[in-house]
Structure 1
Amino acid sequence: MQVLDDMKAEDATVIDLVGKTSLADAMIIASGRVNRHVASIAESLVEAFKKAGHETPKVEGFPACDWVLIDTGDLIIHIFRPEVRQFYNLEKMWGADRPRERLVG
C-alpha cells in the first residue's frame, strides 16, 4: 500500500490467505521503528481507508503500539515494533517463508 511507503514502514510483507483461513483474503505485516512510528502508520492507514470510502476498520493495540492490528474484513494489517514482530514471527506461522507455490495452496 502506498500509505506504508509514505509512512516509511519497514519490511512490509503480503501474505495470501486464500484457502488457508476464512478470516481474510490477505495479511500485511510491517514494522515501525518505535511505538510512535507504529501508531502513526496505523493512524494513517485508518484514515486512508476512511477517505477511500470504506467502513472504518477495527483497530486493536492502541495506546501501547507495540503491535497494532487493523482488520478491514478482507485484509488484516499488523504493524509491529521490530522486536515484537520477531517474537511473534507471524510470517513463519502463516507460511510467508515458504516458496510461492505453497503459499497459494
Structure 2
Amino acid sequence: MELDALKAAVIDALEDIKAKDIQVLDVSKLSPLWDALIVASGDSNRQVKALANNVAVKMKELGVEVLSTEGEKYGEWVLVDLGNVVVHVMQPAVRQYYSLEQLWGGQKPVSTPR
C-alpha cells in the first residue's frame, strides 16, 4: 500500500475509536527503518488497547502486514509496527512524559488528520 494511503487508513482506524491528538511525523530522514510515526492518545488503558487493536484489524483487512504489536498487556503505551509506519497509542500522561514528537527531532507534525 502506498505510504499516504497507509497513513490515511491508520488515521481512519484511530478516529473510529475516538483517538485524541493524532499526529503524523515524517521520520524518513531520521531513520532508515521507518518513513512515518503516528502518535495518538486514548483516555484509558482500555481505550488505548482498543485503538491499537482497531488499527491492527483494519490494516489486516486492507492486506497490510502487521509485523508486531507491543504493550497490549497494560495499555499505557501500545505500539503497532506496520513496517514503514509505526503507530504509538498512549495515555496522555505517558505521552507527555516520553514526548515522542520532541524526541524525533523536535519537529512539528508534517500532517494532521483531515
TM-score of the aligned structures, taking structure 2 as reference length: 0.82
* Structure 2 partner of 1:68: 78
Within a 5 Å distance, the mapping from 1:21-60 to structure 2 comes to: 21-60=31-70
* Structure 2 partner of 1:12: 22
Structure label with greater radius of gyration: 1
Asked whether the 8 Å contact 1:15–1:96 carries over to 2, the reply is no
Counting matched residue pairs gives: 100
In structure 1, distance between residues paired with 2:100 and 2:109: 16
Shift of 1:93: 0.7
Change (3 A) 1:34 1:94: same
Change (3 A) 1:96 1:49: farther
Q: Which ranges of structure 2 fall in alignment gaps of 5 or more residues?
A: 1-10
In structure 1, distance between residues paired with 2:33 and 2:55: 19
Q: Which ranges of structure 1 fall in alignment gaps of 5 or more residues?
A: 101-105
Percentage of identical aligned residues? 39
* Structure 1 partner of 2:99: 89
In structure 1, distance between residues paired with 2:109 and 2:51: 29
CA displacement 1:39-89 (0-9 Å, x = unmatched): 000110000011001223310001101000111111000000000000101
State the Cα RMSD in Å.
1.5
Change (3 A) 1:5 1:99: closer
In structure 2, distance between residues paired with 1:44 and 1:24: 21
Change (3 A) 1:99 1:77: closer
TM-score of the aligned structures, taking structure 1 as reference length: 0.89
